[in-house]
Every structure is written in structure tokens, then in C-alpha cells.
Amino acid sequence: MTASPLSPPTPQQQADFRALYGDVFGYGLLAGSTLAFLGVYATRLGASAYQLAMLTAVPGLVNLGLSLPGARWLERRPLTRATFVTAVWNRIFLLPLVVLPWALPRAFQVWATIAMVLVYSIPGTIIAIAFNAMFADVVPPEWRSHVVGRRNAIMAVVTAAAALLSGQILDRLAFPSNYGVVFALGAVGGGVSTYFLGRVRPGGHRPLPPRVARPLLDEARPGSLRFGDALRTGGALRFLVRARGEALLRFSLLKTSFGPLLFAYLAFYTVQYFPAPLFPILWVRELGLSDGLISLGSTLFYLFMLLASVMFARLTRRHGNHRVLVAGALLYSLYPLILSYAQGFAPFLIASAAGGIALALLSGGLVSRLMERAPQDDLPTAMAFHNLALNIGILVGPLASPILAEWSGVRMAVLLAAGLRFVGGLLLWRWG
């Protein structure tokens, strides 16, 4: 039995698709340069584990406070316009990073970087929700897998190429001007992304496509930073703007089977981000890796993530969302496990490849299983609780690891993180 052919997109939809591809091209430049190397830059400036923890945790704190008010604010506004405006503000706050290496003494640059990430995350929280909902409205359900697949491929290839280019720039130019050039490359990417988001046109008065309770699985995470193998995994954020004035946090939902699932997700997100501030310290101070080698690790990470993402749909059809999620969660412990014993750059590259595979399974598995288990008649409430659990994990996990690292050392703390991630995978197996 052959699948029915897709109805051809209208000229406006084709233009919107091209704009969405241009957006993710620019975002890939940003992700492979500024967002990938911000933690490394802070580490080379002499940032402590506590400062790196703040750099990681600040977006979680902002998201925790602004996600629900932001969703309410978006309910009353056109999503295409709101996405573009918040993207402009989000990317404007990247511009001070370009001059930061020359503008302030080194002693103040780490705190200035933390402050910039704090301000950057405010519109970043809104754009993450607005883009997710806008995408679902602009792209018809039957074309979403096609558009998302192309966006993910563009994202992985461009991010990997930008990381390689950034590594060459960082190795060939003197510190800290080399980072100014890389941050400028990221600012250009942010500008390209914002320009193409402005090219997406609202649908006028046409009816919105039906709400499909299916995750988008788009790998672009507006407003997110990468530390090691920790990426912010969005979870069907578009449903936060579909509540239409209803109270989102209704705690009666936690008394159902969704409660243990949410606990397992909260525990996993916490252990996912637990070692994030320790990775740049391990790369730079323990392993002595150059920026070029760190960029090569990022390239392998994204390329293997792309390859595993291609296999995700086939794996879930054969084994189901739960098994794929648990497999990804258990594999996720390999990155810190390998690094905790690493000597030299070869184990780092192996860990990066393994981390890309694991996170591809997790990025799809976490959201797909969430949508599978969430009550379909109360999706906005379920997504609000999930968003709460995610951001508590981003906030609490990184702030706990420096305490342990101060007592046991960085390598031992990273080794413990591997064990905690394995336990997190077992919790997902039991309650996920």
C-alpha cells in the first residue's frame, strides 16, 4: 500500500519554507560559533566552576520565571510578528560580546558574560515559545516532517562547519581577539536568522491547521547554549499558547499516572545538566585541549547527532518511543564516563561522537514519549508542568556540581555524573 502524495504547498507556503530554512542556516552559524564557545571562553578567562554553573543555570532561572507569563502574553499577539520582534531583541544582546574581549579588563569579563546571558535569555524564552507555536501554524501538518527534516539536516551541517571554522580562527589568531572574531561570526548568523524569520508571512484570515498532538522534533533551540553534551530539549512549547486563558498549573494532574512520569523527567533533566559547568574545565584545564580540537569534538557531535536523527523514526517504529528513550538515556552516561578517564584528545573525540548519538535519541525520545503519555485532553497543563520540570533541572543541576567538584575534584565529579545519568535512565525505564 503506497502512501498518499502530499498536497502541493501554495506559493506562500513555499516562500515560508524557504524562510524557515534560511532561519536555521543563520542559527547554525550562531550555534556553532558563539553559543558553542561561550563556556570555553569563560574558562580561558579563568572562570571558576561556580561562575560556569551560573552561566549554565541562568537560562533556566529566566525560563522558570517567564515561560508561563510569556505564553499568556503571546496568546493575544500574532505569532509571526511576535517571533520576529523577540528574535531581534534576542540577537541584539549578542552584539556586546563582539567587543567584550577589548572593552573590559579580564577580571570583569566573566561576570559581564553571565550578565549578557541573563539578558539574552529574557527574549530567548519568549522566542522559543513563539517560534514553536508559529511553526506549527505556518507549516501544514502533512508537511511538518519534511520541513523539520530539512531544517535538522541544515542545522547539523552548518553548525558543524561553523564549529570547525571557529576552531581554526581561535587557533590562528591571538587571544582574546580570536574570540571577538568568533562572536562576530555568531552575530552575523543571528542577523541572518532574524532576517529570514521576518520573511515568514502570517496566514491572514485563513483557518489555522488542526492541532496535531505530535512533536515537531525541530533541533533548533532558540536562546539555548551548549555545554558538552547538554542541550536544552524543548517539549511541544506551542501548547502553552493554546490554553486560551485557562489556569495552566492544575496540580490535580500530578495525582494521575502523569505524576511519576514528570518526576522521572525532572530527575533526568537535573542529572543531564549536573556536569555541564565541569566540561569546559575538563577540556581546557585537565585535558589541555586547544580550541581547534574542541571544535572538532563539536563537529563530530553534531554530525553523529544528524546520522542518529535520521534513524530515529525507523527505530521508534520498530521498538517504540519508550525503548528508544531508555536506550538513549543509558547511552547518555558514556560521555562523562569516557571523559572522566580520558588522557589526550582521542577519548574526547570518541565521547563527542557517542554524545551526539545519545542526544539524538533523547531529543526525539523525550518529547515523543511525553506526548504519548500526556493526557490528550489537557495538553497545555501537561506541557506547562514539563516546562517547569525542565527549567528546574537546568537551574538545580549545574549549581550542585561545583559543590561536589570542590570536594572530590573535577574528574571524580564527572565520573559521578555518569553514574547519576545512568540512574536517570533507569528512572525513565521505570516511570517513563
Predicted pLDDT of residue 10: 83
Cell reading at 164 = 570547525
Predicted pLDDT of residue 2: 42
- Which tens digit of pLDDT belongs to each residue from 243-298? 555 556 677 778 888 889 999 999 999 999 999 999 999 999 999 999 999 999 98
The amino acid at residue 359 is L
User: Rounded distance, CA 3 to CA 164, Å?
Assistant: 40
Nearest to 303 by CA among 164, 421, 190: 164
User: Per-residue DSSP letters for 375-417?
Assistant: -GGGHHHHHHHHHHHHHHHHHHHHHHHHHHHHHH-HHHHHHHH
Task: Kindly tell me the sign of the dihedral angle through the C-alpha atoms of 207, 208, 211, 214.
Answer: positive
Predicted pLDDT of residue 3: 44
Could you tell me if 228 and 275 are in contact, meaning their C-beta atoms sit under 8 angstroms apart? yes
Predicted pLDDT of residue 231: 61
Written as tens digits, the pLDDT of the chain (432 aa) is: 444 456 787 888 888 889 999 999 999 999 999 998 999 999 999 999 999 999 888 888 888 888 778 777 877 778 788 888 889 998 898 899 999 988 888 889 999 999 998 998 888 888 888 887 788 778 887 787 778 888 888 988 999 999 999 999 999 999 888 999 999 999 999 999 999 999 988 664 444 444 445 555 555 555 555 566 666 555 555 556 655 555 566 777 788 888 899 999 999 999 999 999 999 999 999 999 999 999 999 899 988 988 888 888 788 888 888 898 899 999 999 999 999 998 888 999 999 999 999 988 887 788 778 877 877 766 777 777 888 888 898 889 999 999 999 888 999 999 999 999 999 999 999 887
Is it true that domain 255-432 has CATH number 1.20.1250.20?
Answer: yes
The amino acid at residue 261 is L
Could you tell me if 228 and 55 are in contact, meaning their C-beta atoms sit under 8 angstroms apart? no
Predicted pLDDT of residue 105: 86
Predicted pLDDT of residue 141: 76
Predicted pLDDT of residue 4: 46
pTM of the model: 0.86
Other beta carbons less than 10 A from residue 183's beta carbon: 25
Predicted pLDDT of residue 215: 54
Provide the Cα torsion 53, 331, 367, 66; round to 10°: 0
Where exactly are the structural domains of the chain? 12-202, 255-432
Identical fold for domains 12-202 and 255-432, yes or no, is yes
Predicted pLDDT of residue 399: 92
Could you tell me if 277 and 52 are in contact, meaning their C-beta atoms sit under 8 angstroms apart? yes
Could you tell me if 373 and 333 are in contact, meaning their C-beta atoms sit under 8 angstroms apart? no
Predicted pLDDT of residue 205: 42
Predicted pLDDT of residue 150: 85
Could you tell me if 32 and 184 are in contact, meaning their C-beta atoms sit under 8 angstroms apart? no
User: Would you give the end-to-end CA distance of the chain in angstroms?
Assistant: 34
CATH match for 12-202 among 3.40.50.670, 1.20.1250.20, 1.10.3720.10, 1.10.645.10? 1.20.1250.20
User: Rounded distance, CA 338 to CA 300, Å?
Assistant: 15
Provide the Cα torsion 202, 207, 213, 214; round to 10°: -50
Predicted pLDDT of residue 418: 95
Nearest to 63 by CA among 225, 261, 279, 255: 225
- Which tens digit of pLDDT belongs to each residue from 387-408? 888 889 888 999 999 999 988 8
